[in-house]
Amino acid sequence: MDGDGKNQKRLTYDNGYDDYASFSPDGGKIVFASGRDGNLEIYIMDSDGKNQKRLTFNDSDDIYPSFSPDDKKIVFCTNRDGNWEIYEMNIDGTNAQNLTNNIYDDKYPSYSPNGRFIVFASVRDYWIPELYILDIESKKVERLTRNSFVDCYPKFSPDGKKIVFTGYSDGNPEIYIMEADGINIIRLTHNCVHDDHPVFSTDGTGIAFVSKRDGNPQIYLMDLEGKNLKRLTDNNSYDTYPSFLRKFKRE
């Protein structure tokens, strides 16, 4: 759909579950997870829905894929090793590598704009998920958040200076923003229903997210201060996991 919620177009037609869709940086491809063949696997297609191709083949679940900034890699999370780990593979599905390699669950990866880092959620230091950043080359991991509540679904801003994420500070998910080093955490949404799965617009001026504030999950857009809220989708179904094309600019 357009950035204002208009011109919505269906891209997949199958009997399975298609979710976690993400545009490639050049806008030509979409990577997503699908259960059309049984378990959840990673697929890729053109941005118009054509040329759908399965990339992963295993008996476990592969979810939450996204492209590297240079369009050469895809990062995703998988439980093929018994727990959730962060993997990276080529965009044709070859050379899948485990990047995290530990006994605790690591999930919801997202590349930094320069492609050097991956931000993700993990329970490696405590039973509550917190946010971490991975240096892809050195494999060094640093913890970003130290809260008493769940932090998940992190995404970098286009300039790499901010991270937006979901936090469960009062028992339900809300949207937060912080510096990329984990300081200056600010809560952006304040209501008693679910607000989650945030992502920056490609010009960095807006944040799209999923909310149940009007009933079923729908897509909304707000500015970086949590103001100027606009509802983008309005239907009786579930709308989740927004992703932007580069051409979007908040009006």
So where are the chain's domains? 18-231
Provide the mean pLDDT of the chain: 92
154-172 pLDDT, tens per residue? Answer: 999 999 999 999 999 888 8
- pLDDT tens, position by position, 234-246: 888 888 888 887 6
Interatomic CA distance for residues 65 and 44, integer angstroms: 10
Predicted pLDDT at 15: 85
Share of the chain above pLDDT 70, in %: 98
What digits encode the pLDDT tens for the residues 28-69?
999 999 999 889 999 999 999 999 999 999 999 999 999 999
Q: Is the pLDDT of residue 250 over 70?
A: no
What's the CATH fold of domain 18-231? Neuraminidase (2.120.10)
